Structure 1
Amino acid sequence: MSRAQDRSVSLANRLASAASPYLQQHATNPVAWWPWCPEALALARRLDRPILLSIGYSACHWCHVMAHESFADPETAALMNRLFINIKVDREERPDLDKVYQTAHQLLARRPGGWPLTVFLTPDDLVPFFAGTYFPPEPRYGLPSFKQLLVGVELAYREQGRDIREQNRHLLAALASLEPRGGSALPDESLLDSAVEQLALSFDPVYGGFGGAPRFPHSQDLGLLLRRHAQLLSKGRPDPRLLHMARFSLQRMIGSGLFDQIGGGFYRYAVDERWLIPHFEKMLYDNGPLLGLCADLYAITGEAPFREAALATADWVRHEMQSPEGGYYATLDADTEGQEGGLYLWDRAEVRDCLDADAYRVFAAVYGLDRPPNFKGRWHLALARRPEEVAADLGLGIHEVQGLLAAARAKLLAVRARRPRPHCDDKVLTAWNALMIQGMAHAGRLLERFELLDSAERALEFIRRTLWRDGRLIAVWREGVSGPPGYLDDHVNLIAALLEMLQVRWSASDLEWAIALAEVMIAEFQDPERGGFWLTGPLHETLIHHHKPLADESLPAGNGVAAQVLQRLGHLVGEVRYLEAAERTLKLAAESMQRLPEAHASLLIALAEWQEPPEQLVIRAEGDGLGSWQRAAQKGFQPDRLVFAIPADVPNLPGALATIRPGDGPLIYRCRGTRCLPPVASLNELEATGGEIRR
């Protein structure tokens, strides 16, 4: 090997020691990749080379395509190495970098971004002067080839420096202008109605969901609709549309190709309006909220498919996505051995060979194997006909058909288990784990499935043991290697998970942990001047833009969850500072919410709870009676009620909880906001006072 070749290999292997599986996937590229680090940034400044920043994640199909077409190509790599300093970033490890440069892409390209994100930065100030997403190896799709782009961008950097500096100045000003300025008033309840009306306008009455293709689950919107439905129902103003939009949308998702009909779990999104063909990656952050929503809709409707989907999703997570140590893995890849969706696709003959004639006849009719293939000559399974229809056509009982289908799915799952597996990104992300803990605990409580509660407990203990150190939260962990400090999303979602777990079983240490996290949020993430919370804190790197997340994206907006949990925790322990921080957050976001209410479901839920705080029940009792009272008080879908069952012998409760003392027998304390009623000694007495308490 020549000296030049040896140098090229050593440069390319800078990612080999990275903890991120996504970065490791690129460690053998001939591209001289760097991770985002001070050394790479300093080298770019010293050599006066623009930075080619490529952001993606390990389960991303188009990231794999571009890697195969361009980053693995020696000719393209040589061009990249000669003209640029090339930096790879895992967007799941560095959401701060991803958010800044996705926003910059949207401003520069005047269209939404995505992954892979391809951004070219001036080296001295790290401001992007050109941005795009996927670029092909040859001109197509109306795009230049990636090699043409590389040459053109570098030439522009050399010859149009003055214009680029002027553009950078305008871009920085545009980024700064996006940040909310704050306000002095809160929106009223009509804003919730405006959001519902906007969702109704974009609702698809044929296939469910909102907007056109590609079609995403929009779990935050579904949650808002269910909460608003319950709120209006309790006020004697029912609006059946709200439940219908949420129920029908999730019903269609469960029966479609968005849901893994054999192994459980939801894919990230569908490429078509019918939800038939997904992008096949499975993300932990989707499945946690959708698991909870399935349980909610079962609690509301009693319809078995919602319960079955919840349990199938939870079983998939427990068996395939939970590490032996307890934490949940991040993602499953869309591709298997280079084939998109390879694990999940079926040949008709393969299914026929697995099943007997009766089972195949039913299975084929229900899942569309008696129709033309729907994906590259094979079948991706989705409900083509309702089991009840097939049972009637074949003269079979519905229970017989359901039994045949369940047995067939089990056989196909066993066959699928012998296939090559898609890559699993096994890093543990605190925010994503918190969303799954919340979903598992919520579904386990509503469905009375203790294995789900045990799974949530194990994951929570893993975070406490591994990612909470010396009063600081860590955002990422993999194989003993810790990532950056926790972001806003990590803190707020973990508090939400702790509050959900406290409604499953009381833990003084969990409450202390939630309070400690809230104190870190207020001290390090809050904007003391305008209100609201930054995505990053003082322990994070200073970037070209300081962002406050208000609108929901793939994760619920950090400020929306912050306002929710600070209100709930503030009322529980009587901490006025938490309530004030939540109020200032809502005032900061008021203009943004009014401009586009349907994009702010998490903040709107917080606004609804500010206007009318949830009822908080605290039960003090001993023995088995404590659990039975708790289950009775929690029964059904009650988003407006939080129930905490505290054993009578628990001492030294913090704040306002110290006044909630046990009696000679069981007592139930009922509060709403800052107002409380005298304790009662039975659930019947509690219900008798149901309409008397207001904020």
Structure 2
Amino acid sequence: MTNSLINETSPYLLQHAKNPVNWYPWTQKSLTLAVEEDKPILLSIGYAACHWCHVMEHESFEDQVTADIMNRRFICIKVDREERPDLDKIYQTAYQMLNQKPGGWPLNMFLSPEDQLPFFGGTYFPPDARHGMPPFKVVLKRISDHFRQHREELKEHKQQMMAAFSSITENRSSSSTVSLANEPLELAASALQETFDPVHGGFGGAPKFPHPTNLERCLRHAYFCNNEHTAKLLLELCRFTLNRMSEGGLYDHIGGGFYRYSTDELWMIPHFEKMLYDNAQLIPLYLNAAISCDAPEMFATADNTCAWVSREMQSAEGGYYSSLDADSEGDEGLFYIWQADQIKKLVSPLQWKLLKSRYKLSGKANFDGQWHFHALKTIQAVSKENKLDEAAVEKEIAEAQKILLQARTSRIRPGQDDKILTAWNGMMIGAMAQAGDALGKPEYIHSAERSLAFIRKYLWDGSRLKVSARNGKSQLNAYLDDYVLLARGIFELLKVRWSTDDMQMLISLIDSMLEHFEDNEYGGFFFTSDDHEKLLTRLKPDADDAIPSGNGVATQILLIVGHVIGEQSYLDAAEKTLRVLWNSINHYPVAHGSLLSALETHLSPPEIIILRGEE
């Protein structure tokens, strides 16, 4: 028995196609059905690699009793947040308004049928009373009863919600009197130093995310600032954090690539999903830090991550897949963890001795009675302890890692979300192009070219983009992020090898972005195009989250390409964006790293040298 999701292409939606819940995709048909049946909408948003999404599906959405309540009392709509970030951004914002705290996934919002305004929301709901949370079945009944019995009260609540959404877009009028200066740059640098964890690296406590935009801000500020002491502090902060991340359990020491985040402040035990967008940001970060921080060991981390991308995340046709799941065989991390005896049987006695020393594979195991690799000793310390030179230690450990990688391939793999997303591919195109150039590995540049060729074939019609492709089918009109992140990726590719066709595509992307996404009255860019489906609101995102903000990257690419080709209209649009978002930048500078990078470029325009000729 299947529901309406069986006809979708998203792996996440297809995961729910055999639930007893009568799920619908977000379509006009499902929204109309809610009005006709006068039922509230249960909107559930998640993604394929999300561990807690799987947990809630197993506990509640696969449970017949729970499904019966959902089907009887609600119109249930499932959304893949990676395909519909427009809906995710709106309803995550609504969740914060309702609950006064950040949301997450799975996001479960309850909406009025006639206008899709939310009146209640939560993230993960347990099947039984737990940690002060009521059972999901009780929540469903209470919300359904409240909807039926308090319609007038809900009308008043909805008016307040609409006013709150309207306030988000207020105070966004561009002003020619705003003085664009470097004060936010200094404030952001100070804030990053204040929140830095000097013991373990990174920012704040557990759970600990890599925050690549913050680390990039450290590198850029160190380069641009005139204070030598501040520059040294920021470079050391960045070097220390990146080394702790790559030595820690956030990094896959056997196969390369980074997991989503660490559950502890030590960077030891991660949530094991691997996301394309995280790795697309961390590759250039490690490449740049290797030079800026005089840390050549970081080249190897970037190289191994690129090798993982090429090996496991690129389709036969060239597009990069979206993610690898945290779970396999129903358990989180099972694919990646080891029994000590398993390792000992596979490697040589010397290799076992060195691995045991570097990763402390003795005593109490660090993850559910098994070992997840987390380096507790440096190569130098292992070398000294075993009276071997460092090169020999590195060689033996690398050989052991290859043996373990080969052994790991026989395990049941985590699920893979194999849809190809334009925005994330744009990020990885830029990362692989930079890596190929910095590491002297043309195969990485070729990998980037293959991804771009896939996008040309399936996701680009010469003037407009689509969001995603899977099994030869592309869908959904693209968002701001798709245009700007692909444009930046193409620009990075052009920096390492020239293509007139790619340059023309880059300019077409920018022109289409200006035509369909720019706020012509005030400046800046909306997340959705002018011909997009009408939703609750049209957001103009300025702060970075897991990926850089669309307005930040748009401003960067307008400035860079505007200077390169001498297009004043691009430079004007960039300046107008900085002005309209100036209050937000000043209010919380550290959250606007990508816009701060654009501000630096605006304040210190690059010197352009043009070489003309056949080559």
Runs (4 or more) in structure 1 with deviation over 4 Å come to 235-238
Structure 1 residue corresponding to 2:172, chosen from 177, 181, 190: 181
Residue in structure 1 matched with residue 202 of structure 2 by the alignment: 209
Q: How far does the alpha carbon of each residue in 1:136-176 deviate from its partner, in whole angstroms, 9 at most, with x for none?
A: 00010211110000000001101111111111111111112
Question: In the alignment, does 2:183 pair up with 1:190?
Answer: yes
Q: How far does the alpha carbon of each residue in 1:233-279 deviate from its partner, in whole angstroms, 9 at most, with x for none?
A: 6x877621111111111111111110001000011111111111111
Tell me if structure 2 keeps the 8 A contact 1:225–1:242: yes
1:501, distance to aligned residue in structure 2 (A): 1.0
Structure 2 residue corresponding to 1:549, chosen from 541, 547, 572: 541
1:450, distance to aligned residue in structure 2 (A): 0.9
Question: In the alignment, does 2:71 pair up with 1:81?
Answer: yes
Counting only pairs closer than 5 Å after superposition, residues 428-447 of structure 1 correspond to structure 2 as 428-447=420-439
Tell me if structure 2 keeps the 8 A contact 1:430–1:476: yes
Secondary structure of the structure 1 residue equivalent to 2:446: helix
Structure 2 residue corresponding to 1:461, chosen from 453, 457, 461: 453
Tell me if structure 2 keeps the 8 A contact 1:93–1:483: no
Structure 1 residue corresponding to 2:53, chosen from 43, 46, 63: 63
CA distance in 1, matches of 2:547, 2:34: 33
CA distance in 2, matches of 1:105, 1:291: 33
Question: In the alignment, does 2:33 pair up with 1:40?
Answer: no
CA distance in 2, matches of 1:466, 1:240: 46
Q: How far does the alpha carbon of each residue in 1:360-418 deviate from its partner, in whole angstroms, 9 at most, with x for none?
A: 01101101212311111111111011121122122222222111101110110011011
Question: In the alignment, does 2:327 pair up with 1:335?
Answer: yes
Structure 2 residue corresponding to 1:278, chosen from 270, 276, 279: 270
Question: In the alignment, does 2:482 pair up with 1:517?
Answer: no
Q: How far does the alpha carbon of each residue in 1:192-235 deviate from its partner, in whole angstroms, 9 at most, with x for none?
A: 010000111100011111122111111111111111111126x8
Secondary structure of the structure 1 residue equivalent to 2:253: coil
Counting only pairs closer than 5 Å after superposition, residues 581-596 of structure 1 correspond to structure 2 as 581-596=573-588
Residue in structure 2 matched with residue 23 of structure 1 by the alignment: 13
Residue in structure 1 matched with residue 151 of structure 2 by the alignment: 161
Residue in structure 2 matched with residue 660 of structure 1 by the alignment: none
Counting only pairs closer than 5 Å after superposition, residues 643-662 of structure 1 correspond to structure 2 as 648-649=613-614
Secondary structure of the structure 2 residue equivalent to 1:93: coil
1:574, distance to aligned residue in structure 2 (A): 1.3
Residue in structure 1 matched with residue 101 of structure 2 by the alignment: 111
Structure 2 residue corresponding to 1:94, chosen from 84, 88, 113: 84
Residue in structure 1 matched with residue 193 of structure 2 by the alignment: 200
CA distance in 1, matches of 2:338, 2:574: 50
Tell me if structure 2 keeps the 8 A contact 1:229–1:242: yes
User: Which is further off, 301-310 or 371-380?
Assistant: 301-310
The one-letter amino acid paired with 2:364 is P
User: Which is further off, 463-472 or 377-386?
Assistant: 463-472
Question: In the alignment, does 2:222 pair up with 1:229?
Answer: yes
Aligned residue-pair number: 612
CA distance in 2, matches of 1:314, 1:371: 34
Residue in structure 2 matched with residue 602 of structure 1 by the alignment: 594
Tell me if structure 1 keeps the 8 A contact 2:174–2:523: no
Question: In the alignment, does 2:522 pair up with 1:530?
Answer: yes
1:298, distance to aligned residue in structure 2 (A): 1.7
Tell me if structure 2 keeps the 8 A contact 1:118–1:131: yes
Tell me if structure 1 keeps the 8 A contact 2:4–2:23: yes
Structure 1 residue corresponding to 2:112, chosen from 119, 122, 132: 122
The one-letter amino acid paired with 2:208 is R
Tell me if structure 1 keeps the 8 A contact 2:236–2:293: no
CA distance in 1, matches of 2:421, 2:3: 25
CA distance in 1, matches of 2:476, 2:412: 33
Secondary structure of the structure 2 residue equivalent to 1:346: coil
CA distance in 2, matches of 1:268, 1:173: 35
1:475, distance to aligned residue in structure 2 (A): 0.9
The one-letter amino acid paired with 2:535 is L
1:109, distance to aligned residue in structure 2 (A): 1.0
CA distance in 2, matches of 1:82, 1:14: 16
The one-letter amino acid paired with 1:452 is Y
1:301, distance to aligned residue in structure 2 (A): 3.9
CA distance in 1, matches of 2:249, 2:453: 34
CA distance in 2, matches of 1:237, 1:417: 48
Tell me if structure 1 keeps the 8 A contact 2:42–2:75: yes
Tell me if structure 1 keeps the 8 A contact 2:235–2:292: no
Tell me if structure 1 keeps the 8 A contact 2:23–2:76: yes
Counting only pairs closer than 5 Å after superposition, residues 303-314 of structure 1 correspond to structure 2 as 303-314=295-306
CA distance in 1, matches of 2:182, 2:478: 34
CA distance in 2, matches of 1:549, 1:513: 25
Q: How far does the alpha carbon of each residue in 1:592-611 deviate from its partner, in whole angstroms, 9 at most, with x for none?
A: 01110000000000001000
- Structure label with greater radius of gyration: 1
User: Which is further off, 386-395 or 200-209?
Assistant: 386-395
What TM-score, normalized to structure 2? Answer: 0.98
1:295, distance to aligned residue in structure 2 (A): 0.9
What TM-score, normalized to structure 1? Answer: 0.87
CA distance in 2, matches of 1:207, 1:279: 18
The one-letter amino acid paired with 1:289 is Q
Q: How far does the alpha carbon of each residue in 1:616-638 deviate from its partner, in whole angstroms, 9 at most, with x for none?
A: 23233xxxxxxxxxxxxxxxxxx
1:187, distance to aligned residue in structure 2 (A): 3.3
Residue in structure 1 matched with residue 124 of structure 2 by the alignment: 134
Structure 2 residue corresponding to 1:614, chosen from 585, 602, 606: 606
Mark the CA change 1:296 to 1:73 in structure 2 (over 3 Å): closer, same or farther.
same
Question: In the alignment, does 2:419 pair up with 1:427?
Answer: yes
Structure 2 residue corresponding to 1:150, chosen from 125, 137, 140: 140
Question: In the alignment, does 2:378 pair up with 1:386?
Answer: yes
CA distance in 2, matches of 1:390, 1:237: 33
The one-letter amino acid paired with 1:225 is C
User: Which is further off, 175-184 or 81-90?
Assistant: 175-184
